[in-house]
Homo-oligomer: A and B are copies of this chain.
Amino acid sequence: MRRQPAPGRSRVNDPDATRGRVLDAAAELFQLRGYNATSTHELVSKAGVTSGALHHHFRSKKDIGLAVLRERVAPAVKKTWIDPVQSSRTATEGILTAFDQVASSLARRKVVLGCPLNNLAIELSLVDPDFRQVVREIYDGWRESLAQRLSSEFEQIDAEAAATFVVASYSGAIALAKSEQDPSPLKACAQQLERTMRQWRRRSRRS
């Protein structure tokens, strides 16, 4: 299982690539087993870098965890949620697209790893204020972009509460999907949320 760094793969003259490999390996292992269950030794081995190279870029495992949140998890949330919601014709369409794409990707992969943000948030945000701060910033950005889109589309709703509700339903649904190793809770929640959004539309039309 353990890979030794291949010659030339961990060149000191390509520090960005080394750093990136550590973050990719860490994002994958944290998602698979969790932050606490992953040792720095496993990170070194999975990334195929030397321990020295890893410590050249990161002072501690915590530094790696914070960088994974900022440089891997935040872009994943942007790609999976923020971008589709911004670029869709309607907020409803964007939200349902996000649910649908995640459910399809889980069905293809045949394993439900869970939401990388939710996983690290649950594991780390109580015990460490630095993790909590970064987790919170990512959730805030996600909810704000949703709230902005929802408020321009549905005038008569509390857009911030509605955005929190969408993020919570999704996060809980993917947690249930992970527990069942089956994407069906995501489909059930998307179906219910679609009805709720129709109701938001009716309320906004009536006014």
The distance from the CB of A167 to the nearest CB of chain B, in whole angstroms, is 7
A37 touches B167 (CB 8 A): no
B170 touches A126 (CB 8 A): no
Q: Among B36, B158, B162, B170, point to the contact of A36 (Cβ < 8 A).
A: B36
The answer to whether residues A32 and B126 also contact, given A168-B172, A189-B168 and a CB cut-off of 8 A, is yes
Bound-state Cα–Cα, A123 to B126, Å: 14
Question: A181 near B: Cβ within 8 Å?
Answer: yes
A164 touches B176 (CB 8 A): yes
Closest B residue, CB atoms, query A196: B196
Number of copies of this kind of chain in the complex: 2
Bound-state Cα–Cα, A135 to B112, Å: 15
Question: A161 near B: Cβ within 8 Å?
Answer: yes
A192 touches B162 (CB 8 A): yes
Majority SS at the chain A contact face? helix
A199 touches B195 (CB 8 A): yes
Neighbouring B residues of A171 by C-beta, 8 Å: 168, 171-172, 175-176
Question: A191 near B: Cβ within 8 Å?
Answer: yes
A178 touches B126 (CB 8 A): yes
Q: Mark A94-111, 1 if CB is under 8 A from B, else 0.
A: 000000000000000001
